[in-house]
Amino acid sequence: MANLIEHGNVVRGSHPPQLAFNRYVAVIDVLGMKEWLTRAPAHVIAEQLDYALEASEQSSCGKIDNQSYGPLIGTTHFSDSLLAWSPDDSWASLAVLCEALKLIVATALESGVPLRGSIAHGEAVCNKQMLRFVGQPIAEAYLWSEKTRPYRSVGVDLTPCSIATVRRKLVNEPLPACWSHTHNGISQSVLTRSACISEGLIWYRDCLFVNHWAHGIFTGADPSAMFLRRGLKDGENSRKMLAEMMKFFEFAREEQKHMWMADDFTTQNSQDFQTTFNELAAQLLFLEQVRNDRDPF
């Protein structure tokens, strides 16, 4: 074996080709991992992160007319990094990914695990079976959330390049009504920034975030208590993260009050509701077909 390698005679194996597709990828950092490792064994940390990712899997699974789908969003974690990715770059993928990330961040924070990350768009290999994750959006998401983004605390946003891509897509491919609504989905008015907030997205400090603050666990709750549950209170960085997070929380809480007071939710008649449901169901089932066609996922 040593001679083979020394003389460059390594024989290429029979591994299947790696396939890259245009998709949305979220790269998420577990804040305070170094300190957490001093307080908890590795298996406890891994199980806690699994719990957060299970929220994503459950949010992107379901059954329509006895036909099961999902999980539509792929997830994994390695050390202090979490990855989540969609099957393609359709509107359905973006909406389902945002909902999954909303639950991941909220569920993790409820357990005292603060997460920070970004979503990027582009061609990427996301092969969970062989643990192959390569592509420009992975690098873009990491560099934006960790090196460039002005807001440095809890939350997942879309990179500026991804926002530009989404807006170009709106010109040629309008957002289906089943996804664009203030009280669900990803809301075209928020994507174009004619509105600040929806249940799915929120603008904060010129960044477009997944609105994890809309999750019910924050109703009447104190996020700072969640943040401090792991003892992340020592050191200047932890204090800054906590202060920034609470500013975001207070801003989101006020904006959500205004959103619900405006009450632009128009009650639909049963026929309109059925039309919307049928459109939503068709898109979810089609996305399931894409996911299966692109296996391993």
Q: Where are the alpha helices (DSSP H) in 73-133?
A: 91-110
DSSP per-residue string spanning 259-292:
HHHHT--PPPPHHHHHHHHHHHHHHHHHHHHHHH
Nearest CA among 44, 209, 34, 27 for reference residue 111:
44
Q: How far is C-alpha 220 from the chain's CA centre?
A: 24
Distance between first and last Cα of the chain: 33
| 15 has a pLDDT exceeding 80 | no
Q: 24 with 89: CB under 8 angstroms?
A: yes
Strands annotated E in 31-96? 62-64, 67-69, 74-78, 81-85
The topology under which CATH files domain 18-264 is Alpha-Beta Plaits (3.30.70)
| 269 has a pLDDT exceeding 50 | no
Token couple for 11: 């024989």
Q: What is the maximal distance between C-alpha atoms in the chain?
A: 75
Q: What is the CA radius of gyration of the chain?
A: 20
Q: What is the structure's pLDDT at 192?
A: 95
Give me the mean pLDDT over the 119-135 stretch: 92
Token couple for 95: 């909406």
Q: pLDDT tens digits, residue range 48-93? A: 889 889 988 888 889 888 889 989 999 999 999 999 999 999 999 9
Q: 25 with 75: CB under 8 angstroms?
A: no
For residue 182, give the 3-state DSSP assignment: coil
Q: 279 with 176: CB under 8 angstroms?
A: yes
Q: pLDDT tens digits, residue range 213-247? A: 998 888 878 898 887 777 665 667 778 888 999 99
Q: What is the structure's pLDDT at 184?
A: 66
Distance, in Å, from the CA atom of 138 to the CA atom of 53, rounded to the nearest integer, reads 18
| 136 has a pLDDT exceeding 70 | yes
Amino acid present at 136: Q
